[in-house]
Structure 1
Amino acid sequence: MRRVDRAVTDNRQIQSIIEKAKVIHIGMIDNDRPYVVPMQYGFIFNEGKLTLYVHCAKKGRKLDIINKNSHVFIELETEAVIISGGEIPCEYGSEYASVMGDGTAVFVEDVKEKILGLQLLMKTQTGRDFEITEQMTKQVTVLRIDVPCVTAKSRAKV
């Protein structure tokens, strides 16, 4: 990270960023071309290790790509706010916080883990606990993204 003055290293602060953001961008490689999809997520963050859960239809481009190459890169950010520079364009900036990392996408087959992943997703997105049934898990694909190490960055308004 070039701007080490903006690095966030405290795990509580990193978890707060992950909780506030609601959309993750997942980067993949489709043959030799980049492909990025925004998705809603649920998560577990423990001792600097991030486990994400996303869900999608049972068929599609991202699943085809992950079947060929499970390596992904994730990025999420809180809503960016423009910092005005007045009449000087170079004085403008953004207030934001972001988390990024290399990960591996895994197809979740175990029903109990699928239920957990969908419960975490709903909790992250709505702040509420939901009962997820085995029947509900049959209608979607659940992916787990294991990110062993994340980097986080923040710029507060000055």
Structure 2
Amino acid sequence: MRRSDREVTSESGVRDILDEGRIMHLGLFDDAYPYVVPLHYGYEYADGKLTLYAHSARAGHKLDLIERNPHVGVEIDSDHGIISGGDVPCKYGSAYASLMGRGVAEVVVDPAEKTHAIALLMKHQTGRDFAISERMAATVAIIKVTVHAFTAKRNPAD
């Protein structure tokens, strides 16, 4: 990481970034070109272990790509803003918080894990707890990303 002065390493700092973000950009391998798709997410993070969950239609290009190559990249960002440079254009900057990682994606098939994942996603996105039934969970695919390595950064607006 080039700007280690902006690195976030504490569990609470990483959790803040995950809580502030709403969209995970999931990067997949699509032959010669990357394929990046924005997805709402929910997560579990404890003892340095990060698992992200997203929902999807039960068929489609991203699921096909995961089946072909489950290695993925993820990016989550939030807290955007402009840092003014006054009358000097090259002195302007950007306030942000971000997390970038690498991991392995899989489509969850276990009904109990699917309901758990959807409950996490809904709690993260809405702030509310929902009772999710297996019948409800059967209508969507759940993508689970086990993140093996990540970095987090924050550049506050001051």
Q: Same fold (TM over 0.5)?
A: yes
Deviations along 1:42-70, one digit per CA (max 9) or x if unpaired, are 00011121101101101111111111000
Partner of 1:138 in structure 2?
A: 138
* 1:8-157 correspondence runs (5 A): 8-157=8-157
Deviation at 1:35, TM superposition (A): 0.6
The aligned amino acid for 1:118 is I
Q: 1 CA distance for matches of 2:20 and 2:154?
A: 13
Q: Which runs of 5+ in 1 are unaligned?
A: none
Partner of 1:4 in structure 2?
A: 4
Preserved contact between residue 82 and residue 157 of structure 2 (Cα < 8 Å): no
Size of the alignment, in residue pairs?
158
Deviations along 1:130-154, one digit per CA (max 9) or x if unpaired, are 0001111111001110002321001
Preserved contact between residue 42 and residue 52 of structure 2 (Cα < 8 Å): yes
Deviation at 1:16, TM superposition (A): 0.8
Q: 1 CA distance for matches of 2:79 and 2:34?
A: 24
Equivalent residue of 1:75, what SS?
strand
Preserved contact between residue 48 and residue 148 of structure 1 (Cα < 8 Å): no
Q: CA RMSD in A?
A: 0.9
Equivalent residue of 1:109, what SS?
coil
Preserved contact between residue 105 and residue 146 of structure 1 (Cα < 8 Å): yes
Q: 2 CA distance for matches of 1:156 and 1:40?
A: 24
Q: Which runs of 5+ in 2 are unaligned?
A: none
Large movers: runs of 4+ above 6 Å? none
TM-score by length of 2: 0.97
